[in-house]
Every structure is written in C-alpha cells, then in structure tokens.
C-alpha cells in the first residue's frame, strides 16, 4: 500500500468519523430538545467521536477501514446510531420524525459548509471549476499551497455528506427517511406505522431496496449539486 493511499485512507476516515458523529449528535440533540434525554444521558450530544465509537465500534471503525481497503481507496462506508426511548417515540410520533430528520440535516449542513469554502476559495482566486470531478476532487487549485492541500478533505466532506444525506432520506426502513414520513401522518396512524417499521424483516428488505435504488437517485442529485456549485459549468 502506497503512502498516498494511506494518507487518503486517513483523510477519508477522519472525515467519516466527523460526519457520522455530527449526524448522530444531530439526532441526539433534537431528541433532547423535544423531550427525550436518552442519547444525552449516553453522552452522545457531543462532537467527540469517542462515545459514538464506543456504541458502534464495528460500524464506525472496522467496516469503514475494511471497505476502504477492499475498494482500493475508492470509498468508505459504515454506520453509527444514537439511542432513544421507544415509549417517547410512541407518545410523540411527530417529534420522533423530526428527530429522524435531524441527522440528514446535519449532513446537509456540512455539504453547504464545504460548498461555501469552495466558493470563498474561488472568490479569492485559489480555486476554480475543474474539467472533471470525482469524490476526491470537486474543485481545482490555481496553484500549489495550503488551498491545494485542502482539496481532498474538502472534496470528501462535500461528497460523503451528500451521500449520507441522500441515502438516509430514502423512505426505506431502517433509514431516517422512513421514520420521517410520520411527520405527515396523524398521531394514531404514525403509531401504527412505527409498529410496522419495527419488524426486523422490513429493515433487512429496506436496506436491500435502498442499496438498489440509491445510485439512480443519487447521480442526478450529485450532478445538480455540482452544477449549483459551479453555475454554467454544465457537468454531465
């Protein structure tokens, strides 16, 4: 394994840890503000990845590193989770739906932060629209220096969080999007819907469906995001 690949892997892992930590902290903070202190009491209303890693060491450490190695540096995947009180969710299904949306909202915020950094760099003349774009390179530096060194982490921050946001919003259990649908239901209908989602077989089926549907859904959204980042660039 080359030094460049090791550095890329470390960069991916650090961005992954930060992104998933913010996602779960978003869930935990929203739950706390809406009346459920379960995740707060578990120490997960924090930007420190340690409580989140302790809860999901396999999903936050083993699988990300293994997926990066198996993809030969192409990407990294994994998962994390934040606890909540099922009785609270049953009593306040719409609050639980808002809590579910808080995680993807945190990822969307990071996409916007990365996009803002690119636009500021363009205004300063250090970044420009690249001829071709990849997950590791969503912008191009005008020359060597700190701005050029920041391209890879900035690009991964943008790309990974767009993936996390879109994937988690798919309305398939156990993803956040499936729980968020309850915000449009009456309380009684939402409670029946929650009971339906808790069946293990639907979670397994939901992941399979989401995995199959993700690419055709994500690709046009990714292109739209890049063309909004660079108006007039016409990426296809």
Residue 1 is predicted with a pLDDT of 65
Residue 107 tokens, joined: 């990822």
SS (H, E, C) 73-112: CCCCCCCCCCCCCHHHHHHCHHHHHHHHHHHHHHHHHHHH
- In Å, what is the CA distance from 5 to each residue of 8, 80, 149, 180? 5, 25, 15, 38
Query: Mean pLDDT across the stretch 56-77?
Result: 91
Checking if the pLDDT of 102 tops 70, the result is yes
Q: Which of 91, 83, 80 is nearest to 182 (CA)?
A: 91
Classify residue 140 by burial, with Cβ atoms within 10 Å: 0-12, 13-18, 19+. middle
The pLDDT-based confidence of 93 (bands split at 50, 70, 90) is very high
Q: What is the pLDDT at residue 65? A: 94
- DSSP reduced 3-state for 42: coil
Could you report the per-residue pLDDT of 132-156, keeping only the tens digit for each?
Answer: 898 889 999 988 889 999 999 999 9
> What is the 8-class DSSP label of residue 127?
E
Of 206 and 9, more confident: 9
User: Rounded mean pLDDT of the chain?
Assistant: 93
Tell me the pLDDT tens digit for each residue of 149-181: 999 999 999 999 999 999 999 999 889 999 999
Stated pTM of the model? 0.94
Q: Mean of the pLDDT values across residues 74-92?
A: 93
Q: Determine contact, residues 153/137, Cβ cutoff 8 Å.
A: no
Residue 201's pLDDT is 78
């Amino acid at each position: 394994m080359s030094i460049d690949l090791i550095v890329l892997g470390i960069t991916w892992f650090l961005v992954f840890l930060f992104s998933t930590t913010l996602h779960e902290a978003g869930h935990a903070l929203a739950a706390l503000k809406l009346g459920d202190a379960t995740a707060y009491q578990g120490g997960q209303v924090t930007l420190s990845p340690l409580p989140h890693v302790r809860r999901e060491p396999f999903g936050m450490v083993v699988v990300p590193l293994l997926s990066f190695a198996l993809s030969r540096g192409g990407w990294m995947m994994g998962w994390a989770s934040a606890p909540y009180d099922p009785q609270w969710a049953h009593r306040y299904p719409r609050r639980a739906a808002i809590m579910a949306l808080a995680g993807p909202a945190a990822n969307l915020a990071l996409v916007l932060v990365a996009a803002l950094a690119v636009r500021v760099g363009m205004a300063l003349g250090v970044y420009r629209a690249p001829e071709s774009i990849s997950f590791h390179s969503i912008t191009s530096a005008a020359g060597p220096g700190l701005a050029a060194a920041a391209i890879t982490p900035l690009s991964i921050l943008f790309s990974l969080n767009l993936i996390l946001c879109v994937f988690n919003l798919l309305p398939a259990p156990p993803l956040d999007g499936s729980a968020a649908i309850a915000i449009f239901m009456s309380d009684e209908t939402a409670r029946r819907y929650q009971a339906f989602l808790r069946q293990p077989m639907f979670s397994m089926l939901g992941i399979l469906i989401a995995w199959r549907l993700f690419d055709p859904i994500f690709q046009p959204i990714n292109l739209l995001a890049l063309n909004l980042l660079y108006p007039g660039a016409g990426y296809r």
